[in-house]
Amino acid sequence: MSLLVQKYGGTSVGTVERIEAVAAKVAKFRDQGHDMVVVVSAMSGETNRLIDLAKSIQETPDPRELDVLVSTGEQVTIALLCMALKKRGYDACSYTGSQVRIVTDNSFNKARIQQIDDANIRADLKAGRVVVVAGFQGVDEQGNITTLGRGGSDTTGVALAAALKADECQIYTDVDGVYTTDPRVVPSARRLERITFEEMLEMASLGSKVLQIRSVEFAGKYNVPLRVLHSFQDGPGTLITLDEELNTMEQPIVSGIAFNRDEAKVTLAGVPDLPGVASRILAPVGEANIEVDVIVQNVSSDNTTDLTFTVHKNDMNKARSVLEAVAAEIGAREVKCDDKVAKVSLVGVGMRSHAGVAATMFKALAEDNINIQMITTSEIKISVIIDEKYLELAVRGLHTAFGMDKDPVEQQ
């Protein structure tokens, strides 16, 4: 008998009717002979409502008490889903994160899972029960309720699948799988049958919102077969698996195109070209808890350099104020910022064994008269920073240039 861990997001359980539909789906899998562990999020909009309540009392809510508050959203869903299953004649038992004993560190609002006590769940499964677990939450060593951050229910599902050695972790959401790119931008985008953990990790980190990045990291680390499926449509979804499990003969050069509009470019111009100057610039930025992405440094003829990097758009003004202080200290000429940029990235393990991917990318962008402002690469990724107004044109052009409108077999 196989064990499935299924996770249903907020839109999947957004109303009583949808919770009933999830119960019917879970019942169908139970009838097929599967042991079932179901992880659920709060009903859609509920977490935001609770956060707004907290902010109506405290402008910056106390982190510990905020976790106590927002964790109640999932508690509602697990109880209602168990009632819906019991109504259908299935024995079901609900657990909060603390009842399972999903042990986390004590970083309120963004805790990380450290271990899971699976004894009670295993006992319930042995007794033939469906186990329903609240996602997004755990408990620290002192017994404080903690939450895992936005999208944390994905991580709960994957972590439970790893602890229980489940045959598959199925993430049910409002899309029917992982696509070559966003179908709203490229209508001809295709659903991928399979993608590697490595590729999915890059896609998630580069702006694809299908899965929380930490859940993909967890799945890759513990080799948990992960499948993305639509909550209300039948279909095979997309299986996320190990690199070596894919048939490399059928692996396309580029699997997907990710993009991110939330980028801002920051330049410190006229920096004295001296050893260690980059560290003197970037260290204060890091200390201000600003995450730096793409970095480019140019050397000019007058022994000065321009250092340019990207940050999240929301951090641009904070970065500007940090760098103005740095500029005065090191004698740099000026700080320039631009929040009208976007990042476009090609991702694919097939890029490892194929030369000329960058050349094809740059040619396609040039044909659309799109100027590349910055470039960064890794073994399976090429990212460029471009003017935001050309983002959709770039994505569509690259999708065609790499034959992604076609089935992978047609590309051979």
Quote the CA–CA distance of 403 and 401 in Å, as a whole number: 6
Pairing mode, strands 226-230 and 238-241: antiparallel
How many CB atoms are located within 10 Å of the residue 146 CB? 29
End-to-end CA distance of the chain: 38
Q: Which DSSP category does 129 fall into? A: P
Task: Give the C-alpha separation, 155 to 158, whole Å.
Answer: 5
Which among 289, 334, 341, 280 has a CA at the least distance from the CA of 315? Answer: 289
In the block, which residue shows the tokens 């730096």?
Answer: 292
Q: How many helices (H) and strands (E) does the chain have?
A: 14, 18
Contact (Cβ atoms closer than 8 angstroms) between residue 102 and residue 138: yes
Q: 3-class SS at 136?
A: coil
- Report which DSSP code applies to 135: S
Q: In 3D, which of 398, 258, 246, 271 has the Cα closest to residue 326?
A: 271
Query: Binding site annotation covers 403?
Result: no
- Does the annotation flag 381 for ligand binding? no
210 has binding-site annotation? yes
Is 377 annotated to bind ligand?
no
Known binding residue 9? Answer is yes
Q: Is 173 annotated as a binding residue?
A: yes
Is 91 known to sit in a ligand binding site?
Answer: no
Q: Is 10 annotated as a binding residue?
A: yes
Phi then psi dihedrals of residue 374, to 5 deg: -150, 155
Q: Is 95 annotated in some ligand binding site?
A: no
Q: Is 376 annotated as a binding residue?
A: no
Q: Is residue 331 part of an annotated ligand binding site?
A: no
CA dihedral 68, 71, 72, 73 (to 10 degrees): 150
Give residue 220's identity as a one-letter amino acid code: G
The reply to whether 74 sits in an annotated binding site is yes
Which residues 6+ apart lie within 8 Å of 299 measured at CB?
A: 273, 305
As annotated, the binding site includes: 7-10, 47, 74, 173-174, 179, 184, 209-210
Q: Report the binding-site residues for ATP.
A: 7-10, 173-174, 179, 184, 209-210
Binding site, annotated residues for substrate: 47, 74
